[in-house]
Structure 1
Amino acid sequence: MIDVNIGMRIQNIRKSKNLKVTELAKMAYISQPYLSDIERGRTTPSLDKLQTICEALDISLGDFFGNASEFSPELIQLLENIKRLTEEERTHLAHFIEAIVNRQDT
């Protein structure tokens, strides 16, 4: 399980808007199995995909993660820089960050 919190949050918002998985998947231009995997925490969407899902749910990324004002300017800049990376570069970055976090946990 990669990130249950993101998936659970998507699922809770989807249900609060009375949307079926198939409906949200269609609105977000993603497959229903992919959305199901996200909601179950089996996979984590890229920032671009999460933004698309949020747009389909009619919420901002800031609202999705809580209060946008809680983000430091450095974190906002980091997210903006990540948006400019290619999908492959984001994948490498995600693996790098995961390796650092896992190393700190041991």
Structure 2
Amino acid sequence: MPSDDRVALGLELLAHLEHAELSVKDAMDRIEIVTTDPAVQREILTAAQREGVVEREDGTVRPTATGTFVSFESDVVVKEGEFDCQRCGAGISEGHFVQFDSDELGPFGSTCIRKVLGRD
């Protein structure tokens, strides 16, 4: 996936954070789902600040939009098949994919999707 595609996907992920605020570390943990490349991770966080997706102050990241979190009913699609969870690497037969405008994010197992989205 080209860098600009990962940045767009990372921006959408940050725009849909369910929490009113996260530590920079927790935000970076979420961004790591999109890419493990440290340069692209920094680019995502910098772009999110620049574009007003998040505000960052004293080690805290706050999404600027409210009520835009990912809905399990409408934004997460479950597909049957042979997958490896993008978060933990486990083999799974049911993959959960988050549908964003720019792309989909996944697959994740049933437990990892909740962690990725900040529900656990």
Normalising by structure 2, report the TM-score: 0.26
Structure number with higher helix proportion: 1
Greater share of residues in strand: 2
TM norm structure 1: 0.28
Find the structure with the greater CA-based Rg: 1
